[in-house]
Structure 1
C-alpha cells in the first residue's frame, strides 16, 4: 500500500529537507519516526526539497507499507513522537503509481517580510527596516509570467537538466506592516524563489529598474540576479495533485 503524508515543519533547526550524510534533516527525522510507528523501514519521497532554514506549511511525501493502515491512528501515533517543529497533518491512501514529486502539477511558495523589528518573528520572516516600493515590485513580478527559462535564478553548478518553469502567479501583498510574496508554478529550480525575491527587493529599493529586472531574466545569466533573500522568510505553502490519485477513505 502506498500513502501520501501531508505535513508541515519549521525548518530553523534543520539542514534542509533532504537526507544528507552527517546532517540533521527533516526527511531523516521523519523517516526515523515513521519506521518506529509503522514497525517497518520507511524511506519517504518528498514533493521537493527545501534548503537549510526554509519552512513548509504544506509538504507531501509518499511511502510504502506492506499492509493497509488505520490512517487516523497512524497519524496520531506519529505526532506523538515527532519533535515539536514537525507536524503530521493527514495520511491519504493513494494508487500504487502515485508519486509525491512527479505527480504534483503545481507548487506555491510564500515569502514573508516584516517591516517592524519583532523578536518573535526572527525565525519566521525577513526584517526590512525600510518600506520598499511594492507597486514597482509587482510590476517586475508580473514580468515573470511572460518567461519560461529561469536560468538567471538558478544556482551555479546545479544538477538541473533544464531551467524551464511554467509560471502561474507572482504577486506581492501588503498587510499592515507585513509583506507577503506568493509565487506559483509547475516546478521551481533549487534556490530559485529566494533569488527571485532578492532581485525583486532590489527593484523595490530602487537599485534596479523594472526594465533592468526584465533584462536580467532575458539574459539567462545567473550573474545578473541579486543575492538570495534570507531563508527564514520562505515557506513551501501548497502542493497540488490530480484528485484521482487519492483513493476513497
Structure 2
C-alpha cells in the first residue's frame, strides 16, 4: 500500500532532508523509525530537499507500507521519532503516486522578526529596521513576470533548467513579524533564501527596483544579494492533483 505522509520538522539538528553518509538527516531518521515500527525495510522519498537548518511545517513523503497506517500506528511511529520530527497524517494514494514528480506546487514561508526576541531564536531571522515593505512587495511582484531564476540558484549544482513558474510572492507584516510567502511549481537550490536576501537590499534602499530586474536578467548568482539564514525558512505546503489520492 502506498501512502503519502504529511510531516513537519525543525531542521536545526539535521544536515538537511536528504540522506548523506556520515551525517544525520531528516530522511535518514524518519526511514529508520518507519522501518523499525513497520518491521520491514522502508524507503521514503520526499517532495523536495530542504537544506541544513531549514524547517518544514508540511513536507510530503511517499512510501510503500506492508501495514495499514492508521492513527494508532502514527502515534507509535511518532513515539519512536525525536521530538523535532512529527508525522501529522497519512493518506492512501495510487500505487504509482510520486511525492516529487506528482507535485503541482510547493510553498515556502520566510519569517523575520523586527525586534530581538529570545523565543524566535532558531526560528526566525532578526533583521533590524528601518525597512520599506512596500518596495519589497514591488520587487516580489516583479518575480511573477519572469521564469529564469538562475541568478538566485546555488552554483555548481547538477541543474540545467533554471525556469520556475511563480504563482504568488508577497510580503506581509503582523506586529513585529515579517513574512515572505512564495509559491511555485518548483524551486532551485537556495532560491528562496537568495530572493529574501536580495529583496532585503531593496527594502533597505540599497538596491533599486531596476537593479533587481537587472539581476534577474543577468542570470548570474554573483549579482544577487547574500543568502538569508536557513533557520527562518519553512516548507509550508505541497499541492497534488486530487486523482493521486485513493478515496476509501
Q: Using the TM superposition, give the Cα deviation of residue 176 of structure 1 relative to its aligned residue in structure 2, in angstroms.
A: 1.0
Alpha-carbon distance between aligned partners in 1 of 2:82 and 2:21, rounded to the nearest angstrom: 20
Q: Using the TM superposition, give the Cα deviation of residue 58 of structure 1 relative to its aligned residue in structure 2, in angstroms.
A: 0.2
Q: Using the TM superposition, give the Cα deviation of residue 204 of structure 1 relative to its aligned residue in structure 2, in angstroms.
A: 0.6
Q: Using the TM superposition, give the Cα deviation of residue 161 of structure 1 relative to its aligned residue in structure 2, in angstroms.
A: 2.5
Q: Using the TM superposition, give the Cα deviation of residue 43 of structure 1 relative to its aligned residue in structure 2, in angstroms.
A: 1.2
Q: Note the alpha carbon deviations across 1:44-84, whole angstroms, 9 max, x for none.
A: 0000000010000000000112x341422221111111111
Partner of 2:46: 46
Partner of 2:165: 166
Partner of 2:17: 17
1:188 aligns with 2:170: no
Q: Using the TM superposition, give the Cα deviation of residue 244 of structure 1 relative to its aligned residue in structure 2, in angstroms.
A: 1.1
Alpha-carbon distance between aligned partners in 2 of 1:129 and 1:145, rounded to the nearest angstrom: 28
TM-score (norm 2): 0.98
Alpha-carbon distance between aligned partners in 2 of 1:170 and 1:70, rounded to the nearest angstrom: 36
How many pairs are equivalent? 248
TM-score (norm 1): 0.98
Map 1:215-230 to 2 at 5 A.
215-230=214-229
Map 1:123-202 to 2 at 5 A.
123-202=122-201
Contact 2:38/2:67 (8 A) holds in 1: no
Runs of 4+ in 1 over 4 A off after TM superposition: none
Q: Using the TM superposition, give the Cα deviation of residue 158 of structure 1 relative to its aligned residue in structure 2, in angstroms.
A: 1.0
SS at match of 1:146: coil
Contact 2:5/2:60 (8 A) holds in 1: yes
**RMSD across aligned positions (CA):** 0.9
Contact 1:124/1:232 (8 A) holds in 2: yes
Alpha-carbon distance between aligned partners in 2 of 1:238 and 1:205, rounded to the nearest angstrom: 29
Contact 2:69/2:90 (8 A) holds in 1: no
Partner of 2:58: 58
Partner of 2:112: 113
Contact 1:115/1:131 (8 A) holds in 2: no
Alpha-carbon distance between aligned partners in 2 of 1:53 and 1:80, rounded to the nearest angstrom: 23
User: Structure 2, unaligned stretches of length 5 or more?
Assistant: none
Contact 1:71/1:92 (8 A) holds in 2: no
User: Structure 1, unaligned stretches of length 5 or more?
Assistant: none
Q: Note the alpha carbon deviations across 1:166-212, whole angstroms, 9 max, x for none.
A: 11000000001110000000000011000000000010111111110
Map 1:73-88 to 2 at 5 A.
73-88=72-87
